[in-house]
Amino acid sequence: MYTGCVTVPLVFGAAAKLDTSTIGLLINADLLVAGLVTLLQALGIGKVLGVRLPVVAGATFTAVTPMILIAGEYGMQAVYGSMIAAGVFGLLVAVPFARAVRFFPPLVSGSVITVIGLSLIGVAAGLIAGQDATAKDYAAPSHLALAGGIVLLIVVVNRCTSGFFSQLGVLLGLIVGTLVAVPMGLTDFSSVGGADWFGLASPFHFGAPHFPVAAVISMCVVMLVTFTESTADMLAVGEMTGRPLSRKDLARGLAADGVSGIFGGIMNGFLDTVFAQNVGLVGMTKVRSRYVAAVAGGILVALALVPKLGEIVASLPGPVIGGAGLVMFATVTSVGINTLRKVEFEGTGNLLVVAVAIGVGMLPVVAPSFYHAFPTWVQIIGGSAITSATVAAFLLNLLFNHTPGGRKAEPEPESGPAEKVVADTAPAA
């Protein structure tokens, strides 16, 4: 749970070239938002918000690439302004989405999640090797060896342990990697001493929010992908707990995701989704009480009130974060591929749908200047691998499977996707 919440701000902060203190602030803000949304999902507010299931919410990797692009083009005020707008959008479309979830089958979500993982691998490479190819220590063998050792440790932990302990691979990788980085001279914890033991970041730390149209559109698309992630998880947990979800239940859970966008935009946090690993833990432990998840949310809120802890995490070396991130991002891609296994390809146009969606989505990743001759708003929307892949997959699915003469590829689930298609791969509580 903790690893998932801190990895997203670490990756975003490094890519956006924020200083250590600011990244520490983002970590604590993210923990706060994740804790509040987890409490909201577990306990609910009447018949308005929250799915009331044992689920844990946390930052989604889906938003990372669009946020990096928006920060580079418009600044941090636009990042959080667009997040607030996406949150409001999420509240408005939660009910319609719950009714129209059949238009986001594994064909669409699997293609998008595959692209999300692939697009983030470059971010991990930059953290490991460095951002400046002309620097003397760029891709230093010692840095690559450190990252490789972390990957190896994660593999060994997952291979040699099971159950709860196998979920700790990434967290152990971060801890052991940091200890190894100390004698290598790669750590700098000088800013930790000046951080407070208790405190809370002020709202709108970066100033009044801005709302560029292109940034808002891009983040609203991210919200739809986030809805797809959370939908399948909530349905799966509902089945495990013996409480099949109605459309109203699903809409309340999705609305809580929308609230995370508003909370995140105000408190300098991130968009949240329902963590996939929580589904596995519900099945493994047989603990099905939503009050257990509520306690987990309370723990996250408590951790958010310790700025010194956020500062420590923000000081982790790039190769350490990159090594753990490489595994997490590649796992996202694997989850997307696994989701596509549920798609019927024989005798349909679905192979073409996947091919075009991935191709269009990867263009701005392999060629960052691909849309440089277009207006800024096109560069933001088209330059986001996630936005491009989502739009392409959604429209092509409609064309091939939901129009007269189309070849329907797969049966529509009665209440929504049967399985989670995730953009987050960190251990849950």
Please give the Cα distance from 55 to 44 (Å, whole number): 12
Please give the Cα distance from 390 to 372 (Å, whole number): 21
- Structure pTM? 0.71
Answer yes or no: is 147 within a domain.
no
- Residue 167 CB-half CA count within 13 A: 19
Please give the Cα distance from 48 to 252 (Å, whole number): 6
Answer yes or no: is 116 within a domain.
yes
Q: What is the pLDDT of residue 59?
A: 85
The boundaries of the domain holding residue 104 are 2-127+187-317+334-401
Residue 15 φ/ψ, nearest 5 degrees: -70, -35
Q: DSSP letter at 203?
A: S
Answer yes or no: is 326 within a domain.
no
> In sequence order, which residues have a C-beta less than 8 Å from that of residue 72 and are 6 or more positions away?
16
Please give the Cα distance from 367 to 362 (Å, whole number): 8
The torsion defined by the Cα of 98, 102, 106 and 111, in degrees rounded to 10, comes to -90
Q: What is the pLDDT of residue 427?
A: 41
Please give the Cα distance from 23 to 13 (Å, whole number): 5
3-state secondary structure of 64: helix
Q: What is the pLDDT of residue 84?
A: 95
- Percentage of residues in the chain with pLDDT exceeding 90? 13
As for how many domains the chain has, the answer is: 1
Is 308 exposed, middle or buried, given 0-12, 13-18 or 19+ CB atoms closer than 10 A?
middle
3-state secondary structure of 110: helix
Token pair recorded at residue 322: 């990159």
Contact 310, 27 (CB under 8 A): yes
Which runs of consecutive H residues, i.e. helices, occur in 242-285?
247-267, 276-285
Answer yes or no: is 45 within a domain.
yes
Helix (H) or strand (E) holding 234: helix 213-240
Q: What is the pLDDT of residue 366?
A: 84
Closest CA to 147 of 131, 133, 128: 128
Number of H helices, E strands in the chain: 16, 2
Q: How far is CA 136 from CA 6, 26, 147, 209, in A?
A: 29, 30, 18, 38
Q: DSSP letter at 140?
A: -
Answer yes or no: is 416 within a domain.
no
Answer yes or no: is 426 within a domain.
no
Q: What is the pLDDT of residue 112?
A: 80
Helix (H) or strand (E) holding 383: none
The mean predicted confidence, pLDDT, of the chain is: 81
> In sequence order, which residues have a C-beta less than 8 Å from that of residue 126 and are 6 or more positions away?
14, 15, 322
Q: What is the pLDDT of residue 109?
A: 78
Q: What is the pLDDT of residue 422?
A: 41
Answer yes or no: is 41 within a domain.
yes
* Residues paired with residue 58 on neighbouring β-strands, in sequence order: 273
Q: What is the pLDDT along the chain (429 residues), one digit of tens a residue?
A: 776 677 788 878 877 888 878 888 888 888 899 999 999 998 988 788 888 888 888 888 778 888 888 888 888 999 999 999 999 999 999 988 888 877 878 888 788 878 878 887 877 887 788 767 777 778 888 888 888 888 898 888 888 887 667 777 777 888 888 888 888 777 766 666 666 787 777 888 888 899 988 889 888 988 888 887 788 778 777 777 777 778 888 899 999 999 999 999 998 888 888 876 666 667 666 778 889 889 989 988 988 888 777 777 767 777 888 888 788 778 778 878 888 888 888 888 889 999 999 998 888 888 877 887 787 777 777 777 777 888 888 889 988 888 876 655 444 444 444 444 444 444 444
pLDDT in tens, 152-199: 988 888 888 876 677 777 778 888 888 888 887 777 666 666 667 877
> In sequence order, which residues have a C-beta less than 8 Å from that of residue 198 and are 6 or more positions away?
305, 306, 307
Answer yes or no: is 77 within a domain.
yes
Pairing of strands 272-274, 57-59: antiparallel
Helix (H) or strand (E) holding 362: helix 350-366
